[in-house]
Amino acid sequence: MSDRDGVPDPSTSAEDTELSDRLRKLGKRLDQHRDIRDEEVRRDAAPRRPGVAMAMRLGADFVAGVVVGAALGWGFDRLFDTSPWGLVVLLLLGFAAGLLNVMRSAGLVRPGIGGPDQGRDGKQDGT
Protein backbone atom coordinates (compact mmCIF):
# COMPACT_ATOMS: atom_id res chain seq x y z
CA MET A 1 0.00 0.00 0.00
CA SER A 2 1.23 3.45 -0.68
CA ASP A 3 0.09 6.92 0.01
CA ARG A 4 -0.49 9.54 -2.68
CA ASP A 5 3.22 10.40 -3.04
CA GLY A 6 4.13 6.85 -4.17
CA VAL A 7 6.06 6.18 -0.98
CA PRO A 8 5.20 2.80 0.60
CA ASP A 9 3.54 2.99 3.95
CA PRO A 10 5.93 1.48 6.56
CA SER A 11 3.08 -0.08 8.54
CA THR A 12 2.00 -2.21 5.56
CA SER A 13 5.35 -4.03 5.28
CA ALA A 14 5.06 -5.13 8.92
CA GLU A 15 1.47 -6.19 8.27
CA ASP A 16 2.57 -8.10 5.16
CA THR A 17 5.27 -9.90 7.13
CA GLU A 18 2.79 -10.78 9.87
CA LEU A 19 0.26 -11.93 7.29
CA SER A 20 2.89 -14.10 5.55
CA ASP A 21 3.83 -15.70 8.87
CA ARG A 22 0.20 -16.40 9.67
CA LEU A 23 -0.34 -17.91 6.21
CA ARG A 24 2.70 -20.18 6.63
CA LYS A 25 1.47 -21.35 10.04
CA LEU A 26 -1.98 -21.94 8.62
CA GLY A 27 -0.49 -23.92 5.73
CA LYS A 28 1.42 -26.13 8.17
CA ARG A 29 -1.69 -26.75 10.26
CA LEU A 30 -3.71 -27.57 7.15
CA ASP A 31 -1.04 -30.04 6.03
CA GLN A 32 -1.14 -31.73 9.43
CA HIS A 33 -4.91 -31.98 9.30
CA ARG A 34 -4.80 -33.31 5.74
CA ASP A 35 -2.34 -36.01 6.79
CA ILE A 36 -4.58 -37.02 9.68
CA ARG A 37 -7.66 -37.03 7.45
CA ASP A 38 -5.90 -39.04 4.76
CA GLU A 39 -4.84 -41.61 7.37
CA GLU A 40 -8.43 -41.87 8.62
CA VAL A 41 -9.71 -42.30 5.08
CA ARG A 42 -7.17 -45.07 4.41
CA ARG A 43 -8.09 -46.78 7.67
CA ASP A 44 -11.83 -46.51 6.95
CA ALA A 45 -11.34 -47.74 3.39
CA ALA A 46 -10.06 -51.08 4.69
CA PRO A 47 -12.59 -53.76 3.86
CA ARG A 48 -15.07 -54.32 6.63
CA ARG A 49 -17.16 -57.42 6.55
CA PRO A 50 -19.34 -57.56 9.63
CA GLY A 51 -21.94 -59.63 7.77
CA VAL A 52 -19.38 -62.21 6.72
CA ALA A 53 -17.90 -62.30 10.22
CA MET A 54 -21.33 -62.87 11.74
CA ALA A 55 -22.09 -65.62 9.22
CA MET A 56 -18.80 -67.33 10.03
CA ARG A 57 -19.54 -67.14 13.75
CA LEU A 58 -23.04 -68.53 13.33
CA GLY A 59 -21.74 -71.34 11.14
CA ALA A 60 -19.01 -72.18 13.62
CA ASP A 61 -21.51 -72.21 16.51
CA PHE A 62 -23.75 -74.64 14.68
CA VAL A 63 -20.97 -76.94 13.46
CA ALA A 64 -19.38 -77.00 16.92
CA GLY A 65 -22.62 -78.17 18.50
CA VAL A 66 -23.05 -80.96 15.95
CA VAL A 67 -19.40 -82.08 16.15
CA VAL A 68 -19.36 -82.11 19.95
CA GLY A 69 -22.63 -84.08 20.01
CA ALA A 70 -21.28 -86.59 17.50
CA ALA A 71 -17.99 -86.99 19.38
CA LEU A 72 -19.75 -87.52 22.69
CA GLY A 73 -22.15 -90.01 21.11
CA TRP A 74 -19.32 -91.94 19.50
CA GLY A 75 -17.44 -92.01 22.80
CA PHE A 76 -20.57 -93.10 24.66
CA ASP A 77 -21.10 -95.94 22.16
CA ARG A 78 -17.48 -97.10 22.45
CA LEU A 79 -17.55 -96.95 26.23
CA PHE A 80 -20.87 -98.70 26.81
CA ASP A 81 -21.15 -100.72 23.54
CA THR A 82 -24.55 -99.20 22.67
CA SER A 83 -23.84 -98.59 19.00
CA PRO A 84 -25.48 -96.67 17.21
CA TRP A 85 -27.95 -95.30 19.76
CA GLY A 86 -25.56 -93.06 21.68
CA LEU A 87 -24.32 -91.51 18.46
CA VAL A 88 -27.84 -90.94 17.12
CA VAL A 89 -29.23 -89.46 20.33
CA LEU A 90 -26.26 -87.23 21.12
CA LEU A 91 -25.93 -86.16 17.48
CA LEU A 92 -29.54 -84.96 17.59
CA LEU A 93 -28.89 -83.21 20.91
CA GLY A 94 -25.79 -81.61 19.41
CA PHE A 95 -27.87 -80.44 16.44
CA ALA A 96 -30.40 -78.88 18.82
CA ALA A 97 -27.65 -77.28 20.91
CA GLY A 98 -25.97 -75.88 17.79
CA LEU A 99 -29.27 -74.44 16.58
CA LEU A 100 -29.91 -72.89 19.99
CA ASN A 101 -26.41 -71.36 20.01
CA VAL A 102 -27.02 -69.86 16.56
CA MET A 103 -30.30 -68.36 17.70
CA ARG A 104 -28.67 -66.92 20.82
CA SER A 105 -25.80 -65.42 18.82
CA ALA A 106 -28.25 -63.90 16.37
CA GLY A 107 -30.18 -62.36 19.26
CA LEU A 108 -33.39 -64.27 18.57
CA VAL A 109 -33.38 -66.11 21.91
CA ARG A 110 -32.57 -64.73 25.33
CA PRO A 111 -29.60 -66.32 27.16
CA GLY A 112 -30.59 -69.13 29.50
CA ILE A 113 -30.02 -69.71 33.19
CA GLY A 114 -27.07 -67.74 34.49
CA GLY A 115 -27.30 -65.20 31.66
CA PRO A 116 -28.44 -61.62 31.97
CA ASP A 117 -32.07 -61.36 33.01
CA GLN A 118 -33.04 -58.90 30.31
CA GLY A 119 -35.54 -59.08 27.49
CA ARG A 120 -35.09 -57.95 23.89
CA ASP A 121 -35.86 -54.33 24.75
CA GLY A 122 -33.12 -54.23 27.41
CA LYS A 123 -35.57 -53.88 30.31
CA GLN A 124 -35.57 -56.16 33.32
CA ASP A 125 -38.14 -58.97 33.18
CA GLY A 126 -41.06 -58.60 35.54
CA THR A 127 -40.86 -54.82 35.68
Q: How far is it, in rounded angstroms, from Cα 92 to Cα 51?
A: 28
Tally of structural domains, the chain:
2
Tell me, yes or no, whether 24 lies in a domain.
yes
Q: Which tens digit of pLDDT belongs to each residue from 27-86?
A: 999 999 998 888 887 777 656 678 888 899 999 999 999 999 999 999 999 999 998 999
pLDDT of residue 41: 76
Given 7, 29, 47, the domain boundary residue is: 47
Is 65 exposed, middle or buried (CB count within 10 Å of its CB: 0-12, 13-18, 19+)?
buried
Asked if 57 and 43 sit in the same domain, the reply is no
As a whole number, the mean pLDDT across the chain is 82
| pLDDT (mean) for 6-31 | 82
| pLDDT (mean) for 12-16 | 83
Higher pLDDT, 7 or 107: 107
Asked if 61 and 23 sit in the same domain, the reply is no
DSSP state, residue 118: B
Q: Decide if pLDDT at 110 tops 90.
A: no
Q: Decide if pLDDT at 120 tops 70.
A: no
Tell me, yes or no, whether 35 lies in a domain.
yes
Domain coverage including residue 33: 18-47
Name residues whose C-beta falls within 8 Å of residue 74's C-beta, 6 or more positions apart in sequence: 86, 87
Percentage of the chain beyond pLDDT 70 is 75
Asked if 65 and 92 sit in the same domain, the reply is yes
